[in-house]
């Protein structure tokens, strides 16, 4: 089988802060492979046979090769970077269109596509859904478990108040929402082997995309302004050592 893994490089969410306007402060924050994407790769590794191939793909600047290298260290066999100045400013729609062009032009012989359920920096969770719609394939969301036997592959979806067990049809898109915290980490030999592999770079022309169908020009979302809502509620802490006095303060406060 050929598994396509759509990944994203994101700022390390454990080190990121937000400014007074609600914007992420990315300066000085290291970039990492999105944790949900790493969960997805680990899930593929659990069902992968020796003859299977894992192809990792991302759209981004040249520095996104670091995230692809991480995928190669963790078991991916091939890696593609979709990079072009024209891709800058893409919203989820334009991103999905670029990924769709890659699938149709470079890897139409895939068996299944895996994604993280959402990116840790944007949290929109729109790309997997848009990608499945553009490719006209079914999507299985909130996947927490997967198994494989001679009859095919089965996933477990957790919707919070409902658990579903579903058989995957050929050419499905799987959004992974949870991973194993004890998953394997790359050894030194895996790191050295990954460094020998080529990460192929494809631009807009290679994918056969027009200038007005990618990046900011091909986006349908225009962010006018973003901010963090400020709460006007005030909090008063009352010393409860003397319950009688504390009760009087509470009564005065609610009059």
- Average pLDDT of span 72-81: 96
Q: How many CB atoms lie within 10 A of CB 12?
A: 13
Residue 254 has which token pair? 């609610």
Alpha carbon separation from 248 to 41, 253, 254 (Å, rounded): 59, 9, 10
Q: Where are the alpha helices (DSSP H) in 118-210?
A: 127-135, 188-196
For residues 17 and 39, what is the distance between their CA atoms, to the nearest angstrom?
24
Residue 164 has which token pair? 């579903």
By three-state DSSP, how is residue 59 classified?
strand
Instruction: Please say whether the beta carbons of 201 and 81 come within 8 A.
Output: yes
Length of the chain: 255
pLDDT at 23 over 70: no
Whole-number pLDDT of residue 26:
66
For residues 101 and 99, what is the distance between their CA atoms, to the nearest angstrom?
5
* Portion of the chain with pLDDT greater than 90, in percent: 67
- Average pLDDT of span 33-41: 93
Q: Which residue's entry shows tokens 């299977």? A: 52
pLDDT at 233 over 70: yes
Would you place residue 149 in the very low, low, confident or very high pLDDT band (cuts 50, 70, 90)?
Answer: very high
DSSP state of 85: G
For residues 160 and 64, what is the distance between their CA atoms, to the nearest angstrom?
33
Whole-number pLDDT of residue 231:
72
Residue 4 has which token pair? 């396509």
Residues 94-112: tens digit of each pLDDT: 999 999 999 999 999 999 9
Of 226, 254, 215, nearest in space to 238 by CA: 254
Span of 37-51, 84-98, 167-181, 216-230 with lowest mean pLDDT: 216-230
* Higher per-residue confidence, 28 vs 130: 130
């Amino acid at each position: 089988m050929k598994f396509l893994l759509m990944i994203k490089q994101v700022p390390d969410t454990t080190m990121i802060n937000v400014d007074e306007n609600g914007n992420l402060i990315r300066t000085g924050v290291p970039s990492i492979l999105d944790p949900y994407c790493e969960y997805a790769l680990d899930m593929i590794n659990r069902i992968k046979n020796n003859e299977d191939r894992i192809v990792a793909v991302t759209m981004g600047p040249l520095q996104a090769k670091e995230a692809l290298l991480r995928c190669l260290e963790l078991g991916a066999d091939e890696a593609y970077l979709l990079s072009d100045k024209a891709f800058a400013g893409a919203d989820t729609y334009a991103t999905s269109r670029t990924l769709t062009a890659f699938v149709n032009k470079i890897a139409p012989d895939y068996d299944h596509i895996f994604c993280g359920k959402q990116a840790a920096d944007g949290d929109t969770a729109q790309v997997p859904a848009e990608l499945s719609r553009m490719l006209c394939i079914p999507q299985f969301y909130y996947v927490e478990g997967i198994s494989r036997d001679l009859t095919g592959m089965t996933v477990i979806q957790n919707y919070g108040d409902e658990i579903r067990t579903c058989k995957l049809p050929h050419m499905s898109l799987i959004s992974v929402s949870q991973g194993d915290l004890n998953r394997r980490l790359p050894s030194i030999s895996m790191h050295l082997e990954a460094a020998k592999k080529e990460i192929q770079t494809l631009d807009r022309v290679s994918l056969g995309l027009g200038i007005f169908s990618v990046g900011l020009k091909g986006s349908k979302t225009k962010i006018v302004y973003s901010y963090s809502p400020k709460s006007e509620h005030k909090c008063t802490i009352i010393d409860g050592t003397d319950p009688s006095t504390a009760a009087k303060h509470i009564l005065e406060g609610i009059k």
